[in-house]
Amino acid sequence: MTMQMDRKEPLLRIDVGVCTYRRTELEQTLRSLGAIAVPNDAEIRIIVADNDDVPSAEERVNALRALVPHQIVYVHCPSSNISIARNACLDNATGDFLAFIDDDETASEDWLVRLIETVEATAADVVLGPVKAVYDQDAPHWMRRGDFHSTFPVWIGDRIITGYTCNALLRLAAPSLAGRRFSLALGRSGGEDTEFFTHMHRMGGTIAYAPAAWVQEPVPAKRAAFSWLAKRKFRFGQTHGRLIEAGSGLAGKMRQLALAAAKSGYCALASAVFLFSPVRRNQYILRCSMHAGVVTGLLGMREIEQYGAAEVSSS
């Protein structure tokens, strides 16, 4: 007679999605995931979605399997469109939750524990964590002092109405997320996560914040430039403007156009007032760029491309 020992099944199954595109930093990301604390009675599974034309990350992932104490699922999902990779993570997720982390980020030890604690305490559909930028000493002093690259939620009163995928946990059974996917049309410009979470919230989804669930992200030289920040803010404004335009009539659109143009003009004037204060000056110039982007988004202009092949070719 063969005796079988009972195997305790995990109460929680958590997938971690890592979308990657030709980044050697992926190794550090996976190593950090191998070192994180595991929530009680939970099982972690990592999904690596390779968005390159060829499976360039497969060898690197295979080399790390023995070093990471979690199952790693490698998915080749070409090409050069981040939404394809994000959707591949959703399509291959089998857990109760799906966490997203970028392929150039490293997770803090309690990252996933804090996300799970918050989602259980709030019953939210999505939980966001902060992304702390790590600057090289060659980065401009005003940039390091003003911390222009770290990512935090934007609060509207006491609510968060949109989100990002660089540090997020999704409750996959939430009705607001059922069948929801990232827009392929925004997969090269960016803004696909803003649209995803905005529509999720409009469908009744709730978003919470876990300030202790932080990850770190280095700021490479090509991003430690004012021009990169201005382009990013402009594109963010374009996405925001397009989302506003989709939910308003002609009169509402005209009001929003006038408001965005006025805000852009105000920020331009404020930047001149703070001409000799680099942090405040650049904050206002970047806000001016964002509001200008809102204007173009309201007018239906297509978002500029900033990621994937576009980013590689500009570096």
Span 12-219: which CATH code?
Answer: 3.90.550.10
Residue pLDDT, tens place only, 104-134 = 999 999 999 999 999 999 999 999 999 999 9
Position 308 pLDDT exceeds 70: no
- Which position has the higher pLDDT, 48 or 301? 48
Q: Which residues contact 47 (CB under 8 A, 6 or more apart)?
A: 15, 16, 17, 18, 72, 73, 75, 88, 89, 92, 93
Which tokens is 190 given? 């960016």
CA distance 244 to 264: 17
pLDDT of residue 277: 97
What pLDDT does 2 receive?
Answer: 36
pLDDT (0 to 100) of residue 311? 52
Q: List the chain domain ranges.
A: 12-219, 226-314
The average confidence (pLDDT) of the chain is 93
CA distance 127 to 224: 28
Per-residue pLDDT at 8: 65
pLDDT of residue 290: 97
Residue 154 confidence (pLDDT) above 60: yes
Mean pLDDT of 51-72: 97
Q: Mean pLDDT over residues 214-228, rounded?
A: 97
Q: What is the mean pLDDT of residues 286-291?
A: 98
pTM of the predicted model, to two decimals? 0.91
Cα–Cα distance measured from residue 224 to residue 83, given in angstroms and rounded to the nearest whole number = 25
Amino acid at position 89, single letter: C
Cα–Cα distance, 56 to 255 (Å, whole number): 48
Of the pLDDT bands very low, low, confident and very high (cuts 50, 70, 90), residue 4 is very low
How is 79-118 classified by DSSP, letter by letter? Answer: SS-HHHHHHHHHHH--SSEEEEE-TT-EE-TTHHHHHHHH
Q: pLDDT (tens digit, 9 = 90+) per residue, 92-102? A: 999 999 999 99
- Check residue 95 and give its pLDDT: 96
Q: Which residue has the higher pLDDT, 305 or 244?
A: 244
- Are the CB atoms for 98 and 15 separated by under 8 Å? yes
Q: How far apart, in whole angstroms, are the C-alpha atoms of residue 112 and residue 118?
A: 10
Out of 77-81, 107-111, 245-249, pick the least confident.
Answer: 245-249
* pLDDT, tens digit (0-9, with 9 covering 90-100), for 250-281: 888 899 999 999 999 999 999 999 999 999 99
pLDDT of amino acid 205: 98
| % of the chain at pLDDT higher than 70 | 94
**Which has the higher per-residue pLDDT, 7 or 186?**
186
